[in-house]
Each structure stands twice: as C-alpha cells, then as structure tokens.
Amino acid sequence: MIRAQISAVPAGTVIEVENREHLEKLIFGDNKALEDDQRELYARKSFLDSVEYLMKQGDGRLVKL
C-alpha cells in the first residue's frame, strides 16, 4: 500500500480509495503516537469528513487532493 503524507502529494492528484480507513492511512500513515492528542484527532476527523462528503458527490472512490 502506498503511504503518503498529504504535503507530499501534489495538488490535483486523483487517488482511488477503498473506504474511509484506507483514505486515512494514505493521508496520515500508520502513526499511532498521535492517538492521545485529541486536537489532532478532531482535526483528522474533520478533514476526513470533508473528503468523505466530496467522495459521495462523485462515484465514492476517487478523491482529488
């Protein structure tokens, strides 16, 4: 699986994701050390909610960053 930080992905890149968890791993990687930081978790959830909403406007799998 490709793991990329959001800053390393060029703007306009289109990625295909399987589900929300797959999207989260692609964007944030598997960094579990941040799980205790509630502000970081809230920011991630808000971002993922926004992306998930945009995914639903299309076919549900393609995301343009």
Strand ranges inside the chain, DSSP E: 14-16, 62-64
Q: Number of structural domains, the chain?
A: 1
In a domain, 1, yes or no: no
In a domain, 19, yes or no: yes
Range of the domain at 56: 6-64
For the question of whether the overall pTM of this predicted structure is more than 0.85, the answer is no
pLDDT digits (tens, 9 = 90+) for 5-45: 455 556 677 767 777 787 777 777 666 655 666 777 777 77
Q: Give me the amino acid identity at 13.
A: T
Taking CB atoms within 8 Å and a gap of at least 24, the contacts of 4-8 are 4/29, 5/29, 6/65
Segment 35-61 shows an average pLDDT of 71
